[in-house]
Amino acid sequence: MKLEQTLLLSRREVAQLLTIPECIDAVETMFRRLGENKLPPPGILGIKSKHGSLHIKAGLLPGECDYIVAKLNTNFPRNRAEHDLPTIQGLIVVCDGANGRPLAVLDSIDITIKRTAAASAVAAKYLARPDSSVAAVCGCGQQAAAQLRAICAVLPLEKVYAFDSDQAMAENFAVTLGQELSIAIESAGDLPSMLERSDMCIACTTATEFFVRQGDVPPGMFIAAVGADDSHKQEIDPALMASAKVVADSLDQSCTIGDTHHAIAAGLMSKEDVYAELSEIVANKKPGRTNDDEIIIFDSPGIALEDAVAAVAVYEKASESKLAMGFYFAA
């Protein structure tokens, strides 16, 4: 059921309406449809300022009800320290694909966090060793918490090492998420040792220089490289990118703003060296992991269709929910 007025949802309401399992299901279905050529490719436009950037991402979701979805997100890495504001802020607009009518305007923060984590979980499902039980988390902010919740939904994690440039954040993450998820989480100050003991790694920082080095990564590791969502950001050693099996959420984006971009700039890779897009693997057009020793990196700058399917899931759920009453305004 579509509401006759434009629905306005705050971050709190979006968080109530979108669970991690629902987001994982929506994102996996989207990647499968994309791999089956049932969805048009998304679009992206970016602009930079002195202290941050703004991205506009848009996607079309054809189906029983057509939707056009656009997200306007700002990304200002110094916000926490200088302004006590989130790094990422923005809005998502859901429009009727048949007539262009604005159906909903949603705060983007919770959707961005959860869809990014959901994409990593989908990638882990297809690319990590199924028995992976130890994870290394680099960066211990809100994105890391969502990433860990999502990964726990698809892999049998028993132990987690938490690493952050701010040791207090890593310690707080270990206590809080350990209690919530009932798994052993240890804050760690020695990143190479932490990686050596792990089956997978989640890198979700705002770093501008790589810190996951080729010599520190053991055979068989799966790495979700999440933080490089702009051309100046970097987490993964270009030499490691060049030697690993790289799977991109979007080939063009990874080669333009992801960690793959830095390996290409260093002359160690070309666009043709990227093994696959995740959509090809989810749609069974290419195999994922083929042996236990492969190092596989999911280069995930984030694509508009992830936001689109998550936002539509929230809109449709709100349309049928009493939570929607009182939170919309006339179009």
> What CA–CA distance (Å, rounded) separates 42 from 185?
37
The answer on 192 and 250 residing in a single domain is yes
Is the domain of 142 the same as that of 252? Answer: yes
How do the residues of the chain divide into helix, strand and coil, expressed in percent and rounded to 5?
A: 40, 25, 35
Q: Can you give the pLDDT at residue 174?
A: 97
Kindly state whether residue 187 falls inside one of the protein's structural domains: yes
Average per-residue pLDDT in the chain?
A: 92
pLDDT at 125 over 80: yes
Does residue 309 sit in the same domain as residue 298?
Answer: no
pLDDT at 147: 98
For residues 138 and 140, give the distance between their C-alpha atoms in angstroms, rounded to a whole number.
7
* DSSP track, 98-133: TT--EEEEEESHHHHHHHHHHHHHHHHHHHS-TT--
* Structural contact between residues 297 and 5, judged by C-beta atoms closer than 8 angstroms: no
Q: How far is Cα 202 from Cα 145, in angstroms, rounded to an integer? A: 11
Same domain? For 71 and 11 the reply is: yes
pLDDT mean over 306-329: 80
Q: Residues of the chain with pLDDT > 90: what percent?
A: 79
pLDDT given at position 246? 98
Please indicate, yes or no, whether residues 311 and 187 belong to a single structural domain of this protein. Answer: no
Same-domain status, 260 and 175? yes
Cβ(240)–Cβ(295) below 8 Å: yes
Active centre residues (catalytic): 71
Q: Are residue 286 and residue 309 in the same domain, yes or no?
A: no
Query: Domain range spanning residue 142?
Result: 127-303
Residues 94 and 146 in one domain: no
Q: What per-residue confidence (pLDDT) applies to 211?
A: 97
In a domain, 205, yes or no: yes
Nearest by Cα to 111 from 90, 81, 132: 90
**Residue 1, pLDDT score:** 47
Alpha helices, DSSP H, located in the chain:
11-17, 20-35, 79-83, 109-127, 142-152, 167-181, 191-196, 238-243, 251-256, 259-265, 278-282, 304-319
Q: Do residues 7 and 104 lie in contact, with contact meaning Cβ atoms separated by under 8 Å?
A: yes
Q: Check if the beta carbon of residue 241 is closer than 8 Å to that of residue 289.
A: no
Residue 43 vs residue 40, higher pLDDT: 40
Q: Which two tokens stand for residue 97?
A: 């694909």
**Looking at residue 231, which CATH number applies to its domain?**
3.40.50.720
45 shares its domain with 58: yes
- Of 72-86, 91-105, 124-138, 297-311, the least confident: 72-86
CA end-to-end distance (rounded Å), the chain: 17
What average pLDDT score do residues 147-174 get?
97
Average pLDDT, integer, range 192-199: 97
Whether pTM exceeds 0.95: no
Query: Contact, 178 vs 155, CB < 8 A?
Result: no
What would the pLDDT profile of 5-17 be if each residue is shown by its tens digit? 899 999 999 999 9
Q: Considering the domain boundaries, does residue 63 fall inside one?
A: yes
pLDDT category at 323 given cuts 50, 70, 90 is: low
The Cα 254–Cα 239 span in angstroms is 16
Count of structural domains, the chain: 2
In a domain? residue 77:
yes
